[in-house]
Amino acid sequence: MISSSQDIRAVIIGTGGYLPEEALDNDAVAARYQLDTSDAWIVERTGIRRRHIAAAGQMASDMAAEAARAALAQAGVDVSEVDAIIVATATPDSAFPSTAARVQAKLGVTQGFAFDISAACTGFVYALSVADAMLRARQARCALVIGAEVFSRIVDWTDRGTCVLFGDGAGAVVVRATEGGERGVLSTHLHADGNHADILLVDEVAGVVRMTGREVFRHAVSKLASVVDEALAANGLQKSDVKWLVPHQANRRIIEAMGKKLGLPAEQVVMTVDRHANTSAASIPLALAEATRDGRIQQGDLVLMEAIGGGLTWGAALARF
């Protein structure tokens, strides 16, 4: 039982990821969809070499549940302890019920609450922020925060400028309310500006992603730099205090630019975009899962997460693992 007299921290105690079985490299995508592109062209501009594609009938909730099971297993947490499930997704199973409710049923969780968050590629940071606030407010004690996307169903496979950028997958973290200590989410910082909604959106008529790439890149560099400074200043920290940068995996150039801004060597920047492309809200938790499971991120490390997505939305989170 959590004492009301103690400060509560939301501590990430487990991570998990799931990628669909089918993986297509750049040449396979170009051949399958008869695109006028090449592996060299895609790699040079994005750093992407392959992406995973969900099987027919495989939904966001299916992948989310698999990632959640992996995170729960790593944390050593039983489903009976989970009292909140928050799923960040731009590709839900349906308008309603929520994908989170579907995940709740698939996991066999019979208590607590579940809901979705829609903030495109920034969705995981938004969801982690909400979970952090709820745990601190004692509305929950153990939460699953999940990002899950099936972007292969909303890209225009005739548009080489966008279709090669995205992939499917899910990532999850288990967050537990813990009394005191130094570990946990230090702060989260969220922003949105709907005036730029039209540079990255799902076309209402065609139902596919449309993007003005140069504009998105321009906003990404400036807004991510600003929110990173905001997060560090809010905690009285210096760039040198950051052990790991775990960014949204959209584009190698943006990731490398943010690493240089922080003065971090490449080996302290977690990059997975080459292996599964942009998985939107799933990209940060997928990267966290890889870097915790291979031993890079250790207990006590200060981790900075940041993302920008359609909305425009952007944000950052600082957490000590």
Report the C-alpha gap between 65 and 17 in whole angstroms. 10
Contact 63, 168 (CB under 8 A): yes
Beta-strand ranges (E) seen in the chain are 8-18, 22-25, 50-53, 84-88, 113-117, 142-150, 168-179, 184-192, 200-202, 209-211, 244-247, 302-309, 313-320
Give the torsion sign (CA, 261, 262, 268, 269).
Answer: negative
Report the C-alpha gap between 120 and 201 in whole angstroms. 9
Report the C-alpha gap between 274 and 242 in whole angstroms. 23
Catalogue the active-site residues: 121, 248, 278
Q: What burial class does residue 263 get, using C-beta atoms within 10 Å of its C-beta: 0-12 exposed, 13-18 middle, 19+ buried?
A: exposed
DSSP-derived 3-state class of residue 290: helix
